[in-house]
Amino acid sequence: MARPPVPHLAAEGASSGHGSEAPSSFARSLLVSLRPQQWTKNLIVFAALLFGLQLSNPRAVATATAAFVVFCALSGTVYLLNDVADRESDRRHPLKRHRPIASGAISPTAALVAAGLLGGAALAASFLVGRGFGIVAAIYLLLLAIYSGPIKHVVILDVLTIALGFVLRAVGGAVAIAVPISHWLLVCTILLALFLALSKRRHELVLLANDAVSHRRILQEYSPYLLDQMIGVVTASTLMGYALYTVSPETIEKFGSDRLLLTFPFPIYGIFRYLYLVHQKQGGGSPAEMLLNDRPLLLCVALWSVAVVVILYQPFAF
């Protein structure tokens, strides 16, 4: 069963007051601010493990898992920095006002100290995984920290930066286990990430309506029509990119099979289902929560994963 929504947890964490908050309540509020329900985004780290044919290598699995944990800590650090920077606008948001920093359950100073400690520990751990991975992790943290400042207010660059964050996760997963970084991995990752980021912008614009600009200044540069045009381009590009990847001579030679094309219906259904949730159910604000809460979407991703494993690791099974 999916975990309760973040606003509910955050509101509970803030209800005990500012100064008299018990340590356990503070710790819980801090955990909410790290947004563990969003850590599913870091699963892209395992893409290189899966498509690098290292899934049966225990050492590679352990290293990839360590890389995943590092990126969870780094993304938590970024969320803390972002919430401190956005605390004033979040207080005017119908949902984000319940976040611990915006509600006052955690002070900005405490959040910054926690971010420094967590980020420092994550970077130290990343260099223990490997020098190359440590460099990628440092670039990721720097890029997303800059995003929390000026970049989030620059049209188009804001969503591109979010997409690059996903690419760096994928690259980090490849560097950590020392497998070649496929250009297909980079193309498909950035296109899918753009699809999710643009859908999130559309959800914010529709949800907030006339108050959108007061909550997030960059939204004045977008319109539902413009975002729908961008989403349409990225949707087609994502599906085409994945289709070309499955039938490319490079892919067929690497895996010794041309059956990866059989997995193509899963991305088609998954993206169309996501669009349905965005347009008909007013979803898209949190891709991670949509994945966890929508059973058809979750089942689609699970079946795609199983199909890929069977085809790549048991190529003669059918």
Which single residue is written with the structure tokens 């169309």? Answer: 272
Q: In the predicted model, is pLDDT for residue 60 greater than 70? A: yes
Which pLDDT does position 24 carry in this prediction?
67
Grade residue 10 by pLDDT with cuts at 50, 70 and 90.
very low
Task: Compute the distance between CA of residue 64 and CA of residue 173 in angstroms, rounded to an integer.
Answer: 6
Q: Which residues contact 154 (CB under 8 A, 6 or more apart)?
A: 218
Nearest alpha-carbon partner for 78 in 149, 160, 154, 1: 149
Q: What six digits make up the tokens of 27?
A: 């710790």
Task: Compute the distance between CA of residue 200 and CA of residue 197 in angstroms, rounded to an integer.
Answer: 5
Q: Are 105 and 18 in contact (CB under 8 A)?
A: yes
Which pLDDT does position 147 carry in this prediction?
86
Which pLDDT does position 191 carry in this prediction?
95
Q: Which residues contact 214 (CB under 8 A, 6 or more apart)?
A: 89, 92
CA dihedral sign of residues 152, 155, 159, 160: negative
Q: Are 189 and 160 in contact (CB under 8 A)?
A: no
Nearest alpha-carbon partner for 13 in 113, 104, 112: 104
**pLDDT digits 0-9 by tens, 225-256:** 999 999 999 999 999 999 999 999 999 998 88
Q: Are 282 and 206 in contact (CB under 8 A)?
A: yes
Q: In the predicted model, is pLDDT for residue 307 greater than 60? A: yes
CA atoms within 13 A on the CB side of 52: 25
Which pLDDT does position 2 carry in this prediction?
41
DSSP letter string over 30-67? HHHHH-GGGGGGGGGGGHHHHHTT-TT-HHHHHHHHHH
Mean pLDDT score of the chain: 85
Q: Are 68 and 196 in contact (CB under 8 A)?
A: no
**pLDDT digits 0-9 by tens, 81-109:** 888 887 887 787 777 788 888 888 888 89
Q: In the predicted model, is pLDDT for residue 278 greater than 70? A: yes
Which pLDDT does position 114 carry in this prediction?
92
Global confidence as pTM: 0.83
**pLDDT digits 0-9 by tens, 103-133:** 888 888 998 999 999 999 999 999 999 999 9
CA dihedral sign of residues 211, 287, 155, 232: negative
- Interior angle at CA 196, CA 75 and CA 142, nearest 5: 30
**pLDDT digits 0-9 by tens, 146-196:** 887 788 888 999 999 999 999 999 999 999 999 988 888 889 999 999 999
Which pLDDT does position 289 carry in this prediction?
80
Q: Are 206 and 100 in contact (CB under 8 A)?
A: no
Which pLDDT does position 17 carry in this prediction?
39
